[in-house]
Amino acid sequence: MKKLLITRRLPDANLAAARARYDVTLREADRGLTPQEAAAALCDYDAILPTLGDQFMADAFKGDVRCGVLANFGVGYNHIDVRAAKAAGVAVSNTPDVVTDATADIGLTLILSTCRRAGEGERLVRAGAWTGWHPTQMLGTHVTGKTVGIVGMGRIGQAVARRCHFGFDMPVIYYNRSPKDVDVPARQVDTLDALMRQADIIVVTVPGGGSNTHLIDAAALAAMKPTGIFVNIARGDVVDEAALISALQSGQIAGAGLDVFEREPLVPEALRAMENVVVLPHLGTAALEIREAMGQMALDNIIAWDKGHPLPQAV
């Protein structure tokens, strides 16, 4: 029976399915593997089911690698050096598609919560400080009809676009590094700067790492309208967090909704202190049926590798 390492606790259904087929070791730690732990795991296990936070960087693959597959739990895999993995003979997969709608839903949650000041309003009520309705209380941004600008028009970007267009009658514009035809009414713009200047609400959905690191920098944020709302459901490193904090504190932009952060789980106190910022603990795929589907997809890739078949979701 092959040895499988699962680096973080998964839903019970996934653990049962894995244990029925493999000799499973389950880490109970509430943090990802360090580079040293990742290197050791690659030498000790036949297969690994890692996730966000596990640091499978290039140096981890320099030892006597036993592992044949890294079946990542999650669509983002910037915590894995895929080139180094393949050079060491380690196949890599992820879990696209099953996360699309859940992540897009969180994008709309953040748009609505930030624009309509929902988090601030809930805190007011919970503090017992609400004095009753009046005509100018907590006036926010009306969402219907506003122009949404989407950075990265992949599966999740298109799912956000559909919700915005069909649900809220929002004109959709998008920036994508390559030309992209989509099945929702939307207009591609040539540059990120043009997108940031034209949209009322910006939603970032690009993969993390590589050339996308700090794609949203001080210059990009400076191009936004002072009434602009910024939403990130991608990866934290896509945004220069210090520049975002500065833009919010100076009033350069009106607000932000964030599900991801540059140094998770660290969330800067400056972001937590601002009433015009909605912060969520990386809830993008946090629904049981979605997490179970992700776990089964990762396991299916391990089983395919075990049988000598191509990985269905190879990266």
Cα–Cα dist 315/91, whole Å: 8
Cα–Cα dist 113/257, whole Å: 8
* Tokens 């996308």 sit on residue: 212
Kindly name the residue from 37, 116, 165, 264 that is annotated as catalytic: 264
Give the strand pairing for 229-232 and 91-93: unpaired
Q: Where would I find the beta strands (DSSP E) of 84-204?
A: 91-93, 148-151, 172-175, 187-188, 201-204
Known catalytic residue at 235: yes
Known catalytic residue at 282: yes
Kindly name the residue from 116, 214, 282, 292 that is annotated as catalytic: 282
Kindly name the residue from 162, 235, 262, 291 that is annotated as catalytic: 235
Which contacts qualify for 58-64: CB closer than 8 Å, 24 or more apart?
Answer: 58/83, 58/84, 59/35, 60/35, 60/84, 61/85, 61/87, 61/88, 61/90, 63/39
CB 312 within 8 A of CB 301: yes
In 10 A of CB 132, how many CB atoms? Answer: 5
Known catalytic residue at 37: no
Q: What are phi and psi of 22, to 5 degrees?
A: -130, 160
Q: Which residues contact 306 (CB under 8 A, 6 or more apart)?
A: 2, 47
CB 182 within 8 A of CB 150: no
Q: What are phi and psi of 105, to 5 degrees?
A: -60, -40
Cα–Cα dist 67/76, whole Å: 20
Cα–Cα dist 9/200, whole Å: 39
Cα–Cα dist 28/313, whole Å: 26
- Read off the DSSP letter of residue 127: T
Active-site residues: which are they?
A: 235, 264, 282
